[in-house]
Every structure is written in C-alpha cells, then in structure tokens.
C-alpha cells in the first residue's frame, strides 16, 4: 500500500489510520498497532518540522509492505538531505516537552535506516518484525541508523 499526502500536520491522522489498519491486518495487537502508528507519526512529523520547515504544501509518501515475518514502512520526502549523524534521541534525563520522537521510533521499531541511494530527497525505512515476545512498546530496537 502506498499513500502520499501534503505536509499538512492535520493529515497525519490519515497516515496513522493506514498504519493501524496494516498492522492489525498483519497480525499485530491493537496496542502494537498504536505503537507503530505513533512511530510513523513521529517520523512524518519530523519530516514536516525539520525537513520541510513547517511548509504545508510539500509532499511526503508512506509505503507499507507486509512480508510473512514483518512490516516494512518506507517514508519518502523530497526535501534537503538529512544528516544522519545529527539524528539521535535526547537523554531521557533532559526532562522537557517535546523532542522524544526519535526515542519512540527507535523503541517501537526493530530497524531504522536511511536509503543513501535515494537521490531526490530522503527515504527512511522502518521495520517491525512479527514477534510474539511482547509489545513493541516494551521492547527496544535491534538496530538504528537514523
């Protein structure tokens, strides 16, 4: 499934709905589906906020692919290249509002990588394996690069 939306924050609810639907269809629990929706929402909000500097008229796309053992989410934007080295969660000891998006993404997803070969902007791949060990809300990621 692939969907493209304008970079209007109020449209993020559409992406969350798509993620919830795909996650439930793939066999994730309702709570797992909520965690995955939150991770995608945070990643898309970061695109809008940081890559597009809040512009509501840019484009972002989400592709969701269901494999036997996992869901893969591809988020694409056509903004300036991000510097992966600068993307990291802030310390949880630094208590203040906001700024935890990358923490949630890395906590809820098993893999998080940027496609360096994507020339027209940024392509972020997020993977969650179907596992019956527990909710992604309670497990950390196994690898992260972004």
Q: Which domains does the chain have, with CATH numbers?
A: 2-129 (3.30.565.10)
pTM of the model: 0.83
* pLDDT range class, residue 82, cuts 50, 70, 90: confident
* Per-residue confidence (pLDDT) for residue 144, from 0 to 100: 43
Rounded to the nearest integer, the mean pLDDT of the chain is 86
Q: Which of 25-39, 47-61, 71-85 has the lowest mean pLDDT?
A: 71-85
* Cα separation, 130 vs 120, whole angstroms: 31
Residue 63's contacts (CB-CB under 8 Å, 6 or more residues apart) are: 1, 2, 3, 73, 74, 76
Phi, psi of 74 (to 5 degrees): -115, 120
Tokens 């008229």 locate to: 57
> Edge-to-edge, what's the strand order for the sheet holding 122-129?
2-6, 59-66, 70-77, 122-129, 111-114
**Whether the Cβ atoms of residue 7 and residue 52 lie closer than 8 Å to each other:** yes
């Amino acid at each position: 499934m692939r969907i493209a939306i304008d970079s209007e924050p109020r449209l993020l609810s559409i992406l969350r709905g798509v993620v919830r639907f795909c996650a439930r269809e793939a066999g994730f629990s309702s709570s797992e589906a909520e965690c995955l929706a939150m991770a995608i929402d945070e990643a898309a909000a970061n695109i809008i906020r940081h890559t597009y500097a809040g512009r509501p008229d840019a484009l972002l796309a989400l592709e969701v692919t269901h494999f036997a053992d996992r869901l893969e989410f591809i988020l694409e934007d056509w903004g300036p290249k991000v510097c992966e080295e600068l993307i990291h969660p802030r310390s949880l000891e630094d208590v203040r509002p906001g700024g935890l998006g990358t923490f949630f993404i890395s906590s809820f997803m098993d893999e998080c990588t940027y496609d360096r070969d994507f020339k027209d902007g940024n392509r972020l791949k997020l993977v969650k394996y179907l596992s019956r060990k527990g909710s992604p809300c309670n497990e950390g990621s196994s690898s992260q690069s972004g």
